[in-house]
Structure 1
Amino acid sequence: MAEELGVGHSRYQYFEDPNRYKKAALPIDLTRAVAEVLTRYGVDPAEVMVLAGLTDTEAEPEAREIESQRPTFLSISLPVILPSEVALRDMFRSLLVLVPEGASKDEAAEILARRLPAGLAAIGPLSLDQASVASLAGGAIPQSPATDRPESRP
């Protein structure tokens, strides 16, 4: 992280060491820089701005500014199989909290579009067992010679 921020390792370590850095919040300039770096890795800059002691309302304009600096195209990898309906519902619920009351549909759509990649990344990787993969691919379920026994024939 120190290299990404362009600061020395000892300076960066100073802010991570609670025995040395005793303040409750990071300096706003450092927090902005950290948010800019982490945004490249799919982290929501509004979440990072909390490190500066900002409220959600105060963090939103900061996050917008950081995100406006990002390239027009955002590259993310999506699994072919979407997360469960429950996981998607929870993700959308957490994203909708970011839409201020009284926001127009266009404003809401802009906020949600900006946050969707971070929301999907927060769900985490999917893990499928062999039976699920085989059934989705339309193939036979692979058997393990160590644990699976062939069906007995009458």
Structure 2
Amino acid sequence: MDNIEIIPLEGIKFNDVTIPLSASRKDVESLLGVPYGRHENSLFYFHNELRFDFDNNDRVTFIEFLAGIDGNIQPKIYGVYAFQTEADQLYNILSEKNRGDIDDHENGYCYGFLNISVGVFRPSIPEDIQKMIANAAADGEPMEADEIEYEMRTANYWATIGIGIENYYR
């Protein structure tokens, strides 16, 4: 499923379906059908690759894509594929569109772009992988090339991207 567009502060579009931020839970379920899973105030779709969070009035406050580069859902934001664009490049695009404050207190693992209410996350950064490689070598058990390649992919691309209502990250 690649024809998905993330539109910050508005919602998501795919095929002929638009789901705006602030849509009702009933609207989401009527457009997407029975959810794959539920947890408290969240609905999950497409084998847990897409999550909708709701407020106390059952309105969408946050939409998150959870499967990263290897997922079946590959959303676009600002004309680029969010999970197939290198993390630094997507950071630069989001930074430019945000034009202002960025929550960067998680030192490269997670950013909140405050003006456009977009958040990105990855479980590791390239420096982590370099340390992992060095530690494995120092322990006399160097990492295999395919293992290094996998770890670098998780560090060089975002694992999740989400959009929230205005001021969601403030």
Identify whether the pair has TM-score above 0.5, normalized to the shorter chain: no
When you count strand as a share of all residues, which structure comes out higher? 2
**Highest RCO, 1 vs 2 (Cα 8 Å, sep ≥ 6):** 2
Larger radius of gyration: 1
TM-score calculated relative to the size of structure 1: 0.31
TM-score calculated relative to the size of structure 2: 0.29
When you count helix as a share of all residues, which structure comes out higher? 1
